[in-house]
Structure 1
Amino acid sequence: MAGRRRRQRSKNKHKTASRSDIPSGPTTVHQVPDHLLELVLLRVGSSVALVRVAFTCKRWRRLVADTAFLARFRSLHAAHVAGHYHVVDRPYREKLPPDGNNQNQVFVPDPSAADAIDRCHFSLDFLPECDGSSSWELADSRGSLLLFYRARTNWTGRLRFPDLVVCEPLSRRYQGIAYPPAMRLHLCFGAFLLDGGAVDETGGCIGMSNFRVIVAVYEYVAHARAAPRACVFSSGADGGWSLRQRAAGSGSGGVPLSWFGLINFVGRTRWSLYWTMERDGAVLSLDESTLEFSLAMFPDAVVGWRDELSTFWVIGGEDGAVRVVRMINRGLTVFAQLQGGGEWVTEKVVRLRPADIVAANERYVLLTPRGQTCLFSVELDTLQAESTHERNRCAGAAYPYELPWPPVLQACCAADDTRRRRYR
């Protein structure tokens, strides 16, 4: 009987101890286990919000900085566009306030992030100085990087293979790229940034140590014929310049080119770059994955006639489809090419007064009324035209700028609160 009472007291003691482990009162987020908290953090809307989450506490910062978490987050969320760098054509530059050495580019924050962005962090005053006869011109953007070129012209004023600079404004780092001596005399009709050769373990694919630059050059072949060539620069210790070879057995490289002055860049999609030529319906295309040129034939109703090139622009979209924006009489029309069949259909029409397209992307089209110098834009999602947006002061192309990935976080070490460690 006594032994039974002792066993009962022992059981009651264990029950009391186990109940004492349960916190009294309502539970908080601190009682949520890591694997469940990660599921919550993966649903944060953008990389800007993710950085704010990381500053909540040491535990959240540790979870956000984990390599596996960053890779999963990037697979679920598109890169965050902080804003656009706008190229300001020369007649419009005098209307802008002075801004260091680079008045030909203006950063305009995205409306969704304007309150959280300090423009001073996107300044380009750290770029190397040019002599008085030239300046750095913005050529392209990719991820968190910008590509600039310094024009080198021949005696006719045509652009030779340029000096280049790749930079990351938020970290204020840059890398100069000298032109290859073998290409010194070649004419250039475009310079672009491409992702590097490998995707890192956090989902990032471009950075100052992992990028490529492609320069499209105009090469004379023989008998007044010319062909396009792709010259590619790869970053890293094993990188450098390489020149794509012409197609075997083809004296003109497989793609005969127009006279140099008749080649005009008209936009890009997710995988290709496009230039119009003097031939009706013929568009020069460069595949970014194979780095090969080809001729793409567009219907006359889509591309327009030779004297209507200022009304034609190629854009892409999140679905990867090729789209064309064109002014037809008093209508801004968006054509889309159906995937698989190649058929073109009219997707959207906006009634406008006659205008020329200055620049376009998958989000909006920048236009100027014919015979005037004022600007207005049309949002392609809402089909609304407006003239008060800040971007309408910049009569030039607009290049999206994404926040660097993976984000850089300052985290305290658990062993010593006075020491800090950088997580990337």
Structure 2
Amino acid sequence: MARRRSMRRLNPQIRANEEGARVTSSAAAASLPDNDDMLREILLRLPPQPSSLHRASAVCKRWRGLIKDPKFQRQFRGHHRKPPLLGIFTYSSQGILFTPILHPPDRIPPRRFDLGLCSNHAYYDFLDCRHGLVLVKKTLPGDVIVCDPITGEQRCVVVPAELKMGYLKGSVLCAAGDHGSGESSPFR
């Protein structure tokens, strides 16, 4: 019987709050601030790894609402400046493939950044990858395609006929200050 009493003391006391929901005494003591500005400042300091915001948004509807806000997302990117390197694109006999470099839970599955038809090595050559954009060259007719693997968007850039005669190399150059905004950025 004495053993049973000591077991009860170890368990937190359960009581109802003003709304009638069950809360533990330890949960009531550790309640979060009601001020959204203060909570936003705390969330801004989460690490920039992909899983950080995803996990925090699963805490409750309030946190999810703050994290989904485009203003918060701009502030988060601005606070962390450079996003983490998620992986690299490699060109092999199998095509253009994404190879993740982060460890779980931040590891991005290779199929998430599949370039679709542009990854086929028989029809496309890999030219460059920069600021989240991948530049590939169509072997015939020789035009280049700028791929955004995050959004799946692909833009074809027509190469002038006089440049198609020689060996074509290229590089993605984003307009100053426009890359990393989460929107498709201008390129040259």
Say yes or no: TM over 0.5.
Answer: yes
Kindly provide the amino acid, as one letter, of the partner of residue 173 in structure 1. Answer: E
2:116 aligned partner: 125
2:11 aligned partner: none
User: Over aligned residue pairs, what C-alpha RMSD do you find?
Assistant: 3.4
Note if contact 2:115-2:149 (Cα within 8 Å) is conserved in structure 1. Answer: yes
1:39 aligned partner: 41
How many residues get paired?
163
2:86 aligned partner: 82
Identity of aligned residues (%): 23
Say whether 1:176 aligns with 2:156: yes
1:165 aligned partner: 145
Give 5+ residue unaligned stretches, structure 2.
Answer: 1-17, 19-23
**1:209-259 deviation per Cα after TM superposition (whole angstroms, max 9, x unaligned):** x2313xxxxxxxxxxxxxxxxxxxxxxxxxxxxxxxxxxxxxxxxxxxxxx
Q: Distance in 2 between matches of 1:57 and 1:114?
A: 20
Matches within 5 A, 1:115-264: 116-127=107-118, 134-151=122-139, 162-181=142-161, 183-185=163-165, 187-188=166-167, 190-196=169-175, 199=178, 204=181, 207-208=183-184, 210-213=185-188
The residue matched to 2:72 in structure 1 has which SS? helix
The 1:67/1:171 distance shift into structure 2, 3 A limit, reads: closer
Give 5+ residue unaligned stretches, structure 1.
Answer: 1-19, 94-102, 153-160, 214-424
Q: Distance in 2 between matches of 1:72 and 1:184?
A: 43
Note if contact 1:87-1:138 (Cα within 8 Å) is conserved in structure 2. Answer: yes
**1:363-385 deviation per Cα after TM superposition (whole angstroms, max 9, x unaligned):** xxxxxxxxxxxxxxxxxxxxxxx
C-alpha displacement of 1:58: 2.2
The residue matched to 1:59 in structure 2 has which SS? helix
1:348 aligned partner: none
C-alpha displacement of 1:182: 5.1
1:69 aligned partner: 72
Q: Distance in 2 between matches of 1:113 and 1:143?
A: 23
The 1:30/1:50 distance shift into structure 2, 3 A limit, reads: same
Note if contact 2:58-2:64 (Cα within 8 Å) is conserved in structure 1. Answer: yes
Q: Distance in 2 between matches of 1:175 and 1:199?
A: 17
Matches within 5 A, 1:280-359: none
1:346 aligned partner: none
**1:44-85 deviation per Cα after TM superposition (whole angstroms, max 9, x unaligned):** 111411233223322112212333322322222121221111
1:312 aligned partner: none
The residue matched to 2:143 in structure 1 has which SS? strand
Compare the two structures and name the one with the higher helix fraction.
Answer: 2
**1:23-50 deviation per Cα after TM superposition (whole angstroms, max 9, x unaligned):** x953444444211111211111114112
Compare the two structures and name the one with the higher strand fraction.
Answer: 1
C-alpha displacement of 1:135: 2.1
Q: Distance in 2 between matches of 1:30 and 1:177?
A: 51
**1:289-321 deviation per Cα after TM superposition (whole angstroms, max 9, x unaligned):** xxxxxxxxxxxxxxxxxxxxxxxxxxxxxxxxx
Note if contact 2:33-2:39 (Cα within 8 Å) is conserved in structure 1. Answer: no
Higher relative contact order (CA 8 A, sep 6+): 1
The residue matched to 2:116 in structure 1 has which SS? coil
Note if contact 2:57-2:63 (Cα within 8 Å) is conserved in structure 1. Answer: yes
2:99 aligned partner: 108
Greater Rg by CA? 1
The 1:40/1:141 distance shift into structure 2, 3 A limit, reads: same
The 1:176/1:69 distance shift into structure 2, 3 A limit, reads: same
Q: Distance in 1 between matches of 2:183 and 2:163?
A: 26
1:253 aligned partner: none
Q: Distance in 1 between matches of 2:183 and 2:147?
A: 9
